[in-house]
Amino acid sequence: MNALTSSSLGYPRIGAGREWKKALESFWAGKIGEEELTDRLAEVRLGNLRIQREKGIELIAVNDFSGYDHVLDTSAMFGIVPERFQYEGGEVSPGTYYAMARGEEGEAACEMTKWFNTNYHYIVPELQGAKPKLVENKPLKAYREAKETLGIQGKPVLLGLFTFLKLSKGYAETETDAWIDRLLPLYGQVLRELEKEGAEWVQVDEPVLSTNVSAEDMNRIEAIYKTLTEAAPGLKIMLQTYFESVEHYDRVVKLPVSGIGLDFVHGGEKTLKLLKSGGFPEGKILGAGIVDGRNIWRSDLKEKLDTIRDILAVVPGERVIVQTSCSLLHVPVSAVHEDKLDPVLRDALAFADEKLEEIVLLSKAAVSQTAETAEALQRNEKALAALRSSEARGNKAVQAAALQLQKVPAARGEGFGERRALQREKWKLPFLPTTTIGSFPQTAEVRQARSKWRKAEWTDEQYKGFIRSEIDKWIKLQEELDLDVLVHGEFERTDMVEFFGEKLDGFAFTRNGWVQSYGSRCVKPPVIYGDVAFTQPMTVEETVYAQSLTTRPVKGMLTGPVTILNWSFVRDDLSRDVVAYQISLALEKEVQALEEAGIEMIQIDEPAVREGLPLKKDEHGAYLDWAVNAFRSTTANVRATTQIHTHMCYCEFHDMIGSIRDMDADVISIETSRSHGELIESFEQHTYEKGIGLGVYDIHSPRVPSVEEMVSMIERALRVLDPQLFWINPDCGLKTRGSEETVAALRNMIAAAKQCRETMAVSQA
């Protein structure tokens, strides 16, 4: 028997040297034109396809590439453009496409939020007032390009109709069927044109099937795929699910399509059990997601082969495709240049390219082992054993303390009411106090200084002097703007997670481990490979220096344990809650160090709590319990007068307001501006009796909002929240913004706050 078929579900867009990012940002800056942008993106896109072919992948995904975001691409493909962008029909221009993503002068960007439970952000489609029409068949273009340029018979990728609809906004639940009726002919047209062109397979992504889909929605999905199969009977549809086991397994596998892709990694144990008990339909292809598409560790190949053999006991090999659990969008491109890491760690890593090699190896070894595959399996086993026995995983004291936190919930000694009274007396802040979320612009000068220091072109003292000069400048600016609570600006930090990981035991850092977060924004997640432990104070020096420059309070700025966890590549030999508790133990010591140094207003950011929420609702409670406890563990021992802030962003919070309250922060700031104030609806339905700041402008857009816009946002919030507990702040940190726009936006924000103070003073007089 020949090897099993190998397939990719998607490949990182960014390029081995982030060429994609550089091209986009050059275009936005006006340094290159549209034609050069098109050429540079094509070069990256075709290079990605060549790599996959060279690795031996047989079914290569095409149309997984994007100029910004694949959900936005789907909106543009169907001409779904909000009226405010003055779109007049036809193919959506790059100018309009990027205006939807980033905003433009006078027009707010479309909302951006998390792609399921990942750290990738997608642009939310706005259906209100839209009249969808197929204006550009993007999968067809990608298929043609791969075939004509490289001779690759690609597998076009298309975001499924039902997932697209569920990710959209601007329609009522009662309009669901009407919207399916509008979109279904367009999807049918896409598939017919692919069929006519000669495409054999099309991958239709429906990750929503791994969430809690209702029986009524399953009826809709069955009708959708019956219609689409009939629309293009000669085209094979691989209905692809990922991120968890599917709901309604029996109905999903019987959908009228040629193949079903299932995740045998995330929720894999349940998926395998369902496969064994429920079987798999005759004549249908199973796309078996065997290799983890979301983490960076080598697969345990012997374990994966056991899983494949279990699958082959149910489904014959000629009907099995070996693939990753999801698109490789979520991992870095290649581990080949990570030669600065400890060899034990380096040998245990697998990025996108290495995962493709694993797929090809597994597809061969599952059928028959050769000397080559046997040697590869032996190397794999040796590499994993070396990591397991690493000294970095032997901190018994940390292990014991983390296990203790699992058993005993943490809590502050005084309730919020008592703390609030003491803090009001201590801080004497004005009504509607203003602050920022933490970071200020990381200018080219800041990045150059850090580069010189890292290359040893600058001494520690030179670099420290530069950082202090930036703190000087921005403390003075904040005072001139008349902000009430200041920050030091975080100029010494490359990233809100990496900075802390570099100062803690148990973390490692890659040279080129970049992944896309949103748009051109790429992050380099730390690698948690050992036991996490505090070694020395991490933030005290800069914060204390900033506080010495002003009489106004300066917040200490930390990243919380759950965000550090969720924004890192995490060791897979421990449960995630145990790793979170290890991180919280280290951060608790940093909080104590700040407090002892006189910093008694401390912000511990947790923007990633919501994104870690499991896709299955019955698993939410357990996750939120340990996530909340990990956060509380960092603050349980501070004084009542020490004011604890936290921050969350770009998430839907209506289903976890109770957990936010349980975190017991004195003040929480939450994004609302990019969702156009919709989060306020959650507080119209649920009371919240602690300090809160709802972000009043979007920092991810370069536009400077007017005073009137922010006043409107503040006034709406104050209709449902206690004005005595309300804070005014931007949505998020200002690291990615330019200095001029930052100052202009903050000036308007402070003017809006003062206007609201005056209005309320008059109304209460």
Catalytic residue numbers read: 700
Which one-letter DSSP state was computed for residue 694? E
Query: Is 295 annotated for ligand binding?
Result: no
Instruction: Name the phi and psi angles at 613, rounded to 5.
Output: -60, 130
Q: Which two tokens stand for residue 535?
A: 């070694």
CA distance linking residue 401 with residue 589, whole number of Å: 13
CA distance linking residue 99 with residue 109, whole number of Å: 7
Query: Is 671 annotated for ligand binding?
Result: yes
Residue 636: what residue type? A
Query: Is 651 annotated for ligand binding?
Result: no
HSE, CB side, 13 Å, CA atoms: give it for residue 685: 10
Query: Is 114 annotated for ligand binding?
Result: yes
3-state secondary structure of 720: coil
CA 575 to chain centre: 20
Query: Is 598 annotated for ligand binding?
Result: no
Instruction: Name the phi and psi angles at 335, rounded to 5.
Output: -90, 5
Q: Which two tokens stand for residue 671?
A: 């994004």
CA distance linking residue 549 with residue 486, whole number of Å: 11
Strand boundaries in 231-349, DSSP class E = 236-240, 259-263, 285-291, 320-324
Query: Is 605 annotated for ligand binding?
Result: yes
**CB contact at 8 A, 332 and 12:** yes
CA-to-CA dists, residue 554 to 474, 478, 730, angstroms: 12, 11, 17
Query: Is 133 annotated for ligand binding?
Result: no
Burial class (CB in 10 A: 0-12, 13-18, 19+), 715: middle
Query: Is 522 annotated for ligand binding?
Result: yes
Cβ neighbors of 359 (< 8 A, separation 6 or more) are 6, 7, 8, 57, 290, 291, 322, 323, 324
CA distance linking residue 740 with residue 644, whole number of Å: 30
Which one-letter DSSP state was computed for residue 169? B
3-state secondary structure of 305: helix
**Secondary structure in 3-state letters for 638-692:** CCCCCEEEEEECCCCCCCCHHHHHHCCCCEEEECCCCCCCCCHHHHHHCCCCCEE
CA distance linking residue 698 with residue 695, whole number of Å: 8
3-state secondary structure of 378: helix
- Residue length of the chain: 765
Query: Is 119 annotated for ligand binding?
Result: yes
Query: Is 567 annotated for ligand binding?
Result: yes
b/e string for 370-382 if b means 16 or more Cβ within 10 A? eeebeebbeebee
Instruction: Name the phi and psi angles at 457, rounded to 5.
Output: -80, -25
Query: Is 19 annotated for ligand binding?
Result: yes
CA distance linking residue 498 with residue 650, whole number of Å: 21
Query: Is 166 annotated for ligand binding?
Result: no
Q: Which residues are annotated as a binding site?
A: 18-21, 114, 119, 437-439, 490, 521-522, 567, 605, 611, 647, 649, 662, 671, 732
Q: Which residues are annotated as a binding site for L-methionine?
A: 437-439, 490, 605
Q: Which residues are annotated as a binding site for L-homocysteine?
A: 437-439, 490, 605
Q: Which residues are annotated as a binding site for 5-methyltetrahydropteroyltri-L-glutamate?
A: 18-21, 114, 119, 521-522, 567, 611
Q: Which residues are annotated as a binding site for Zn(2+)?
A: 647, 649, 662, 671, 732
